[in-house]
Amino acid sequence: MITNLLVANRGEIALRIFRTCREWGVGTVAVHSDPDANALHVAAADAAVRLPGAAPADTYLRVDAVVSAALAAGADAVHPGYGFLSENAEFARAVLDAGLVWVGPSPESIALMGSKTESKRVVAAAGVPVLAELDPESLTEEDLPVLVKASAGGGGRGMRVVRDRAEAAEAVAAARAEAASAFGDSAVFCERFLERGRHIEVQVLADTHGTVWAVGERECSIQRRHQKVVEEAPSGVDEGLRQRLFEAAREVCRVTDYVGAGTVEFLVTDDGEFFFLEMNTRLQVEHPVTECVTGLDLVAWQLRIAEGQALQGEPPRPRGHAIEARLYAEDPRSDWRPGSGTLHRFAVRDVRAEFTVPDRYGIRLDSGVADGTEVSVHYDPMLAKVIAWGPDRTSAARMLAGTLASARVHGPVTNRDLLVAVLRHPDFLAGDTHTDFLTRHADRVLDAGPGEAGARLSVLAAALADAEHNRTHARVLGSLPGGWRNVPSAPQVKTYRHDGTDRSVRYSATRTGPVLEEHPEVTVVAVTPERVLLSCDGVRRTFHVTRHPGLVVVDSPLGSVSLAPVPRFTDPAAELAEGSLVAPMPGTVVRLAVSVGDEVRAGQPLLWLEAMKMEHRVTAPADGVVTELAVAEGAQVEQGAVMAVVTAGEATDVGAVETTEESA
């Protein structure tokens, strides 16, 4: 009987597991790195143990440190969550060797399924369909397109699509280098790449008495860089295909002697073929959608199975439909570049339940952040999982889109607008969910947001609210209208930077209120420092204005707009030299491709920066010569630090940064 559980993880998954532990009367132990000392999961636990350091390799990935923490805190069991050490067979063995209960499958099952090549060999021998493995060194034109994959890893790292034989050698070399960096194993293989496959996965539970449940399937085809962003249950497959997938998943469990919760992932074609991809020997990020439609607490079942309890009867049939959206601190329009910094405000409306199934149809929120949380460069940039459970798929999609659109998320740029655009896209609503969805609809979903009209009105609202804020906080003559004069004078000007562009608002203060001479179609109805009511061509809308250090956020029915106030006078010392390439975030330089004096072409890779579990390729902004290289391999850089300078024959911009791969 488990009495005190250590969760070897952080953030929302630690909080999710703690929720079940509280209901079960099980004590909880958290571990934390130095940046996470004040994190929500630490405050929520009965006890917490520090893992000295900041980087995952020094903290959450230290097998010895985590096991020692469990023993020191008096834990009798360890739950790995997902990510970090959750699929590490050595960690599972170390937990068991320490006399603790391991809440997960056996180390042998983890090791077997951790190798993509070996796991595919075993399940193929059992009759489960797999894609044929191809030798990266002997690809032919007939083999293309292919997907290069790291044998030892997952989460999109060490993965490349090759459509031209001329690209194969470079793609394989890059995949090997990233796999070695991420997993300590450079082995890669190739398999046929299906352009329009569907990613369908089966949730399984297997007890120690030989019973295996297929607890339903999930549709996980909305992906960017081979990583899921929208998941739902059940999928839209027909009943015959569903049962074949269930039987294949159960067979995978049988031939691997699997115990506990896991997910068997398949690639499904439009004509009903399916192929085994891999098995995740842990709880999945998207497990809440299965919990909502089945009513099961999958964490509770993990604990029951770890205690030796048996599965009874049959798994419940699904009720309604659930869709989960992963809210990330990342910028889809800047090649999915992750963000970091202070999350000033995080508010999601109409949440019916957190970390558990709602008592009726509604919104569930699983999140490890709150107002003031620091989004760290050291960890995955996911802020929250927002889940809608409704009577049918359309109602769930509508509910989730509305909730995300109205959420107030102030701080780093997020993928919120993209998620809303996906959920409201006619092809998504029609069930056309293939793995190439975001590629096919990039023009519509990547540039989603308030648009030019929304941005223009939001900037007006920000300027008017700021002027009112300044007037009400004035120490002298605060009762006079801001900027008011006895005789007409030049209009007042406020400037904000939005999406890299400066936007200025000119207005005149009069006895009857502000006048926007450049916007005759707009009437100012009411203004307070936090709320502006504007009428544009006869349509009234309310704009909520919130100020944070160096940031003004305007939320309205048109969308959320983040603005950076531009000072009237700039510091000349802050100007960068032409051709400077700066770090977009704190990170580690993992590879260099050039030296000082090298001639480069525009777009040529210069170096790779690793941050927030992503690898970013920094490229030359123009043809020229590398005249300065301010970093070395292994160097830690701060956001905004100059890493290199490329001198061209003409003025160049700050260098481009491209995100290449990422891990969940």
Active site residues: 282
Q: How far is CA 50 from the centre of its chain?
A: 26
Q: What are phi and psi of 318, to 5 degrees?
A: -70, 145
Q: What b-and-e string marks burial along 113-136, b requiring 16 or more CB atoms within 10 Å of the CB?
A: bbbbeebbebbbeeebebbebbeb
Number of helices (H), then strands (E), belonging to the chain: the values are 16, 41
CA distances from 266 to 122, 141, 201, 481 (A): 15, 26, 6, 65
CA distances from 615 to 171, 565, 618, 663 (A): 14, 31, 10, 9
> What is the 3-state composition of the chain as percent helix, strand, coil, each rounded to the nearest 5?
25, 35, 40
Contact present, 150 and 179 (Cβ < 8 Å):
yes
Instruction: Decide: helix, strand or coil at residue 157.
Output: coil
H or E stretch at 508? strand 501-510
Round to whole Å and give the CA distance between 351 and 253.
36
Residue with tokens 């510091």: 571
H or E stretch at 13? helix 11-24
Instruction: Decide: helix, strand or coil at residue 399.
Output: helix
Burial class (CB in 10 A: 0-12, 13-18, 19+), 286: buried
Contacts of 43 (CB under 8 A, 6+ apart): none
Round to whole Å and give the CA distance between 271 and 14.
40
Round to whole Å and give the CA distance between 26 and 510.
65
End-to-end CA distance of the chain: 32
Q: Which residues sit opposite 373 in a β-bridge? A: 343
Q: How many CA atoms lie within 13 A of 391 on its CB side?
A: 0
CA distances from 633 to 377, 586, 590 (A): 18, 15, 5
Q: Using alpha carbons, select from 227, 263, 256, 244 the residue that is nearest to residue 118.
A: 256
Burial class (CB in 10 A: 0-12, 13-18, 19+), 507: buried
DSSP string, 45-102: SSEEEE--SSSGGGTTT-HHHHHHHHHHTT-SEEE--SSTTTT-HHHHHHHHHTTPEE
